[in-house]
Amino acid sequence: MLLVGPASWPALLWELARGGLAWSFAKRFWMYAAEHTAVPSVVLAAVALVVGWRLLKRVSRFIVEVALVAALLAAATEAGWIRW
């Protein structure tokens, strides 16, 4: 159990650092969704997998575009075409 208060900030930061808090939240949300929507967990998992894959594809394209623009800006700065 995680208590949020002045005495438990180190414990909270430790849980955040090792990812335990996110996993605990995801697990509780998953159980709540399966119980209260009457949709089986396998169906929820399939939907989450498809949505996650599509989101990953979009995010990866965006990251590549940002990296390309950053590299072009760095090259233009080194060439003296742009001053910051």
Range of the domain at 54: 40-84
Considering the domain architecture, whether residues 34 and 46 belong to the same structural domain is answered as no
Residues 84 and 44 in one domain: yes
Q: Are residues 27 and 45 in the same domain?
A: no
Q: pTM above 0.75?
A: no
Q: Are residues 45 and 79 in the same domain?
A: yes
> Nearest to residue 48, comparing CAs of 71, 26, 72, 77?
26
Give yes or no: residues 46 and 15 share one domain: no
User: DSSP assignment of 3-41, as one string?
Assistant: --SGGGHHHHHHHHHHTHHHHHHHHHHHHHHHHHH---H
- 20-71 pLDDT, tens digit per residue, is 666 677 777 777 877 888 778 778 788 888 888 888 888 998 999 999 999 9
